[in-house]
Amino acid sequence: MVERQSRTHGALMGTHAKVRIDVMIEPDLHAVASIAASSRIGEDLLREELARPWSRTWVAREEDGASPLPVAFIVAWHVADELHVLNVTTRTDRRRRGIGRALMETAVAYGREKRVKQVLLEVRRSNHAAIALYRTMGFFATRLRPRYYPDDEDAVEMLLLLDPQTGEILPRDDEVRLDS
Ligand SMILES: CC(C)(COP(=O)(O)OP(=O)(O)OC[C@H]1O[C@@H](n2cnc3c(N)ncnc32)[C@H](O)[C@@H]1OP(=O)(O)O)[C@@H](O)C(=O)NCCC(=O)NCCS
């Protein structure tokens, strides 16, 4: 069972949104599916996600927004000593306000609490925005997975290593080059 979690991420800069992070619940699914429209994650798939015992899902809501609807979400799987981030997406008109980072920090904080050894993810090689976000958090590239996506684009596998005792991030350099 995932603990109900509600955390507020305050403004770091004037342009940053003040968001509340909650565990995703059934009434959020319609809004989350519309945020994810471009990645073809529909409500049914999200419903299946909520039912998986190993799935961890959070949404971000704007604290001062007119509507409490989610503006971003993250889905991760907690399996053994690893947390695998499957998707993090911010609504197009709410990007670059610190919301994606707030969700990633929530996932990493959960991983720390559960003493996972690593947070893992795959990202499109061309997705410079996401790669930049992951790098600022301490992720490094471990390998390329050629033609991983249905349109044949390569995936970059990225890892954040945590000391399970202290939760400290163990920094490492890239193990593969991304610039070729
Ligand atoms: C990747 C994504 C989730 C980032 O969400 P966001 O809410 O805009 O991210 P943040 O505002 O928290 O950005 C945090 C940091 O990431 C980096 N970043 C984010 N967008 C960037 C961009 N377009 N170009 C370069 N760096 C970027 C920056 O370092 C940024 O910090 P800064 O704004 O202080 O410079 C968002 O672009 C998105 O939804 N993309 C489509 C879905 C996707 O590709 N998801 C990831 C793969 S599953």
Residues with CB under 6 A from ligand 1: 87-90, 95-101, 123, 127-130, 132-133, 136
**pLDDT tens profile 57-78:** 999 998 876 668 999 999 999 9
Phi-psi region of 101 (alpha: psi -120 to 50; beta: other; left: phi over 0): alpha
pLDDT of residue 10: 53
pLDDT of residue 30: 95
Residue in 82, 105, 122, 157 annotated catalytic = 122
With the most atoms of ligand 1 within 8 angstroms of its CB, the residue from 21, 58, 122, 133 to mutate is: 133
3-state DSSP of 122-175: EEECCCHHHHHHHHHCCCEEEEEECCCCCCCCCEEEEEEEECCCCCCECCCCCC
Whole-number CA gyration radius for the chain: 16
What are the pLDDT tens digits along the chain (180 aa)? Answer: 344 456 666 543 345 778 999 999 999 999 999 998 877 789 999 999 999 999 999 999 988 766 689 999 999 999 999 999 999 999 999 999 999 999 999 999 999 999 999 999 999 999 999 999 999 999 999 999 999 999 999 999 999 999 989 999 999 999 999 876
Alpha carbon distance 152, 119 (integer Å) = 25
Alpha carbon distance 84, 114 (integer Å) = 13
Q: Is 122 an annotated catalytic residue?
A: yes
Alpha carbon distance 85, 38 (integer Å) = 18
